[in-house]
Structure formats: C-alpha cells, structure tokens
Amino acid sequence: MRSASTSVLTGLLYTTCLVLIGALLATLLLSFTSIREGTLPYFTYVINAIALLVGGYVTGRRCGGKGWYYGGLTGLTYFLFILLIGFLGFDAPMQWGTFLFLFGAFGVAALGGILGVNSANSNNKHKPKVIKPRR
C-alpha cells in the first residue's frame, strides 16, 4: 500500500499522458481520413472517459483501498487541472457543462478506482500459501 498522494499523482500522470496520446490520434484521424471536425466532441468525450477510467484504475490499484475515494480524487484533480488550463489559457467561463464534466470525471475515475482496488485484492487472494515443514 503506497501513499495516497503519490498514487493520485501517478493516476493523474497516466490520465494526462493518455489524453495527450488520444489527442494526437484524433488529430491524425482528422487529418488523414474523411472524418469531419463536427465529430471532434465525441472523440474528446471518449478519450477523456478512457483516460479517467485508466487513471482511476491505476490510483486504486496503487492505493489498495478506498478505490472510489482515491479514484474520484484523481478525477477531481484532473477536472481542476483542465479548468485551470481552460480559464487561464482560453478564458473559458463556468457553465453547466463544466459541472457535468466535474461529476462525470469524478464518477468515471471513481469507477476505475473501484476496479483497480478489486483487481489488486483479487491477485492477493489467489496466491498459493507456502507451507513450511516442521523440524
């Protein structure tokens, strides 16, 4: 079981890297195929959801407990990071969609955290016990 802050930051790093890779793939798809830019919001929703699920999973697996809490904290941290970039870089105002993104980010990352904790616990249950002979 590792420190919670280290686990959340690791999950946030995974999430950010996956979003960057997904954005690069979406850019390549838009450039070299006949896909229109009108479908770009759907790409961003799917990319963010997958990245948050994986980030929550990594956080939950590393923490070993309270997966919904630490996974959700990863989603909340990612939301604040995106909100800060949008506000400072693009002067984006707060809207209802912003709050929907907050709840979605928390929920998807919390689900990933739950799956991560359960996968970490299931691996520990199935390890064979070593019986030492008496002397």
* Cα–Cα distance for residue pair 59/72, rounded to 1 Å: 9
E-assigned strand segments in the chain: none
pTM, to two decimals: 0.85
Read off the tokens for 106.
């928390």
* Cα–Cα distance for residue pair 72/112, rounded to 1 Å: 9
Quick one: how far is CA 75 from the chain centroid? 6
pLDDT in tens, 89-110: 888 888 888 899 999 999 999 9
* Cα–Cα distance for residue pair 10/59, rounded to 1 Å: 7
Give the confidence band of 86 by pLDDT, cuts at 50, 70, 90.
Answer: confident
Read off the tokens for 122.
């299931």
Q: Can you tell me the mean pLDDT for 32-37?
A: 89
